[in-house]
Amino acid sequence: EPEVTQTPSHQVTQMGQEVILRCVPISNHLYFYWYRQILGQKVEFLVSFYNNEISEKSEIFDDQFSVERPDGSNFTLKIRSTKLEDSAMYFCASSGRIDRLQYFGPGTRLLVL
Amino acid sequence: AQTVTQSQPEMSVQEAETVTLSCTYDTSESNYYLFWYKQPPSRQMILVIRQEAYKQQNATENRFSVNFQKAAKSFSLKISDSQLGDTAMYFCAFLRGGATNKLIFGTGTLLAVQP
């Protein structure tokens, strides 16, 4: 069964450093998303991406964040200058054109020290 | 703005018993979707069940079923014959129909299945 994959599974970084989180969505999906979950809190929407551009973003997704689909398979989230409060689990998800089901990847656990 | 409320932070059930997790939501939309996601200790988000608001029939997936009360804006999840592997955090989520694809999650219910 097709699945969304994410790398790395864990990342530790120093405050102020740039990180890139990578995702490979399900191959025939056209919509891509990033969510985050701070430990012990609910899952929050960050951004959705379709047709090579951002279609929707939340207040959390400020200028420190960017997304890119550099090739036909990868979808990345970049945090330019990490802050302590960026420590969270980051989930990538994808969905098809008609089916509104979003399939989530296993997540990347980011720890900012 | 849409909101999703899960009023039970934690629940416990004996193996083989039935448990119901509550979820209410607030929206003025008529076209929307509701989901239950399961998050086991591994923290992966796994889709359990989906309900389209226009469908009157309650969705069922094996041991999992929902009680969708559109007028009351209630969407509860029933787990029958609970198994130890059902131990997880369960999130209710709302998706408005139309152009948006932003899932709105509740705060979750931590379910512990006891042997």
Residue A1 has pLDDT above 80, yes or no: no
Beta carbons of A55 and B108 less than 8 Å apart = no
Q: How confident is the model at residue B96 (pLDDT cuts 50, 70, 90)?
A: confident
- Paired with B43 in beta bridges are none
Tell me if A109 and B43 make a contact (CB, 8 A cut-off): yes
pLDDT of residue B2: 81
pLDDT digits (tens, 9 = 90+) for A15-26: 999 999 999 999
pLDDT digits (tens, 9 = 90+) for B39-88: 998 888 899 999 999 998 999 999 999 999 999 999 999 999 999 999 99
How much is the mean pLDDT over chain B?
93
In chain B, residues with a C-beta closer than 8 Å to the C-beta of A45 are: 102-104
pLDDT attached to residue A73: 86
Scan for tokens 């029933």, then name that residue: B78
pLDDT in tens, A89-111: 999 999 987 777 899 999 999 99
DSSP character at residue B20:
E
Q: Is the separation of the CB atoms in A79 and A86 below 8 Å?
A: yes
The pLDDT of residue B97 is 81
Contact B2, B94 (CB under 8 A): yes
Chain B's closest residue to A92, CA to CA, is: B45
Q: What is the pLDDT of residue A92?
A: 96
How far is the C-alpha of B23 from the C-alpha of B109, rounded, in Å?
A: 9
